[in-house]
Every structure is written in C-alpha cells, then in structure tokens.
Structure 1
Amino acid sequence: MSGYGVVIPAYNASATIAETLRSVAAQTARPELVVVVDDGSTDDLAAAIGGIDLPLKLLRQDNAGPGSATTRGIAALSTHFIATLDADDLWLPGKIAAQLAHLERLPATSGVFTHIRSFRDGEPAAMAPTATPGWSRSTMLIRRAAAQSVGPMVDPPGGRGEMIDWIARTRESGFILDMMPDVLALRRIRPGSLSYGRDAARDRGYLEVARLAMLRRAQSKAGSS
C-alpha cells in the first residue's frame, strides 16, 4: 500500500492545531509527511505545533486564503495519496486506513470522502445528533496525480466555497469521487472560524462558485455543439 501525506492550511489556529495534529498522529496508518501551511497568521503557530510525534514541515506565506495554502501544501508533497484537513477539525483513528483500503480496492476511483459529525468547541461530548456527508477538506483523501491534474484551489471572494468549486472541477475533469458511509471525522464549530454561521460578505464566495460552474457548463455545451 502506497504512502500518504497530509496538508493542513492554518490561519491563527494555534488554539486548535495541536489537537488536530494529535488526531493525525493517532491514525493507524502513519503519514510520510504532514505539511502545515501558515497562511499569514499573527499568532505563534510554530510553537503550537512543537512536540507532536509526526514528521512535520511548516511553510509560511502571506495571507491568501485556505485554497491557496492547500494548493501550496499539495505541491510540497510527493506521496501517492494526499489527505487534507482543516486546522480545527479532527480525524478518528481508523479514517485514513479505511480510505486507503477503499482506494486500493477501487483503482478507478480518484478520491474518497467520509461522513462527518460536528461538535461545539470546548465540548467534545456535545455532538450533533446526525452525521452528514463530508464533501470537505477535512474528509478528503485523493490520489496525487488527480489533484495535480485538477489544478489549484481558487479562493473566491469572501473566503468560502473553494472546496465546492474544486470538487466540482474534479468531477468535470472525469475523476470519480466516492463518499464512504462511515463517520470518520469531526468538525469543530467555533465562533469566529471561517466557516461559522451565515455572513453575507463571506457567502459571496458561494455565489461566485455557482456562477463559475454555470459558465463552465455553458462553455462545454458550446464546445460540443
């Protein structure tokens, strides 16, 4: 079974990233390398990741968004498989092993996601009553060749929606993405995080993602007519 690497984009995540990294260290399948990309943080991220029993590489860039940081991290890996994870979310111990086994069984599948359950920050026992399909950065394991073929994750206005756009482009490129029924990741609900709540300015990204998808479909129809 081929090895995997992990990409974690991080912006002012010193309060949560150690716990996130410990969930990576607890995987039954150990990563070859974990790349943390500091996206222009103003806190001491380097100190927060110290002392974790993982092969770690810290990269820094000016603040450009989680998509840009994820793209840079992917470029820094040479592993056959790439997993991604937000700096405040958690993996359950068997996540990666189950996903690697899934991809080994299904060589035509390029990427696999899992279900995810939310919990309130500081209250790990306060879980959401139901899990949801996690079409998100924190559940993704993908073949490196597919990720490179799709290209960069583009951060839309407001900083939300880059994963929706990238997953859509992956499918449009002909790659197969599967969703496992297992709940293998936990999403932290934290006021102030990029994905927390509704925000008109941040939600502009979703509108831009939808506009770009419709534009691609129109261009595809025009090219095939």
Structure 2
Amino acid sequence: MGRRSAAAVAVLAMVVLPSGCTAQTERAGAEVPELWRAQIDQVLATDDPDVTVEHRAILEDYAVSDAEYQGLRQELSDCLTDHGIEHTMDPAGGGLETADLPGDAEGSQTMELSTACMDGTTGPVESIYLGMRENPEGLGQGEALRRCLDDADATEYAGVSEDELERLITTAELKPTTAEAQLCTMDPFGSQGVSLDVARQVLDQEQREVVDE
C-alpha cells in the first residue's frame, strides 16, 4: 500500500503542475553531465512496463537522493521477504545476496522472483544512482581510464588517446601488463576499494590462464 500511495502522489503532482514541472525538468537536465542526462532521458522515454511511475517520478528531476534510493532498497527487501527469500544487502548499496528457496535446487525460481522484485523496485534507478555517485562528472570509460593512468603515473598506454582507450575497452582488446594499469581497469575511480596487491593477483592469474591456453 505504501508504494501505491507514493506513486499516486507522484502522478497527482505531475497532473496538477505540468508546466512548472516541465520547466524545472529542463533546467535540471541541462545541469547534469551528458552521460547521465542521456541515460535518464532514455529511461523516461521508454515504454518498458518495468519502468514504473515511481521510477519516473524519482528521475524526472535528473537526480536521485539518498532517501529515494534507500526507499527503493527497502521496497526490494520487503518484496524478497514477502516471497520468503532470505537475503542480505550491502548498506552502501548495490550488493545483494540471496539464499535459494527450499526445494529450488537450481535456484531458477529464486532468481526469477528476485529479478521481478528488483525490476519493480530499484529497477533502472539503482545503476543511475550508484553511477552518478561514483562518476559525478559523467566521464566516459576512456576518459576515466586515461585520468586514472595519469594520476597513477602508469607508463603503460602512455600517449594513448581517450578515444583509443574507449575502443580498446569496448572491443575487449585492452590487456594490461602492469599492476597499475590493471588496477585502473578494475577500479578507475578508486571507489571500490581495490588494492594494488589485489590488482596484481588478478593480473598474475589472467597471465597464467593465457599461458595455459
């Protein structure tokens, strides 16, 4: 009932104040980096039934507050609980672990129900919320990697343009050979807490797998 009430209020606000909302939305959208503005525009324009009235109401000002995101996370938790799915959620956001339902040997039913819960609650808002906080400037992949490599004084890919780095990432041709470059590919914004030692371990493992092939 709480979700239905919130959606109804959002619809009422949009109906009563269409011109004001439109002007505010245009101003808000103009102040958001192109990367995020384009993603939000895409969500608002879609006719995908998984994009709910609540999702649209949250995103129409081109921002997602902590309270709005945590509200959706609580709805997700409630939905999983209603289906009897035991779960744990990362307080920082994003992380979710579920235990398979009794008798669901392959986990397919649990996955189906969990996906339905996520679609109807956090949905497209979660990736935008987390992304905007990790990358508030809206940097592209190549730009973010270039900045990380430069900040780390990494010699690998020195002089390679942002566009070329973007292409290498997109085509999966980016193959770091140093721990510094590997770290930048894994955590370009330094927000995931990946250490240089972990990056080195991953790099060593990947290089061993190449040799084994």
Please classify the TM superposition score into its range, dividing by the shorter chain length.
under 0.3
Query: Over alpha carbons, which structure has the higher Rg?
Result: 2
Q: Which has the higher contact order (CA 8 A, sep 6+)?
A: 1
| Higher helix proportion (structure 1 or 2) | 2
Alignment TM-score, normalising by the size of structure 2? 0.26
| TM-score normalised to structure 1 length | 0.25
